[in-house]
A = this chain, B = another copy of it.
């Protein structure tokens, strides 16, 4: 059980922080045209559904890490909207 919790937290932390380098890159370059907005829309929907799954399982690693991922996906979409070439 303890190993399971550690692996879950590690897995969730990795997928949760994955969007961060893309966000940093966009903030630094102010360029988003090659980034697919649909990718982050689907990711956001997926992470929201994983939260729901975690709630059903009462599984905290799934809930917390996916809630963080969802926040980052939405941040990326806001950046896409801000820096998108008019």
Contacts and interface: CB of A to CB of B under 8 A. Distances in A.
A17 interface: yes
A44 B86 CA distance: 33
Interface residues of A, number: 41
Given A25-B34, A35-B22, A47 B15 contact: yes
Interface residue SS majority, chain A: helix
A81 interface: no
Contacts of A34: 25-26, 29, 31-35
Interface of A: 3-4, 7-8, 10-22, 24-26, 29, 31-36, 38-40, 42-43, 45-47, 49-50, 52-53, 56-57
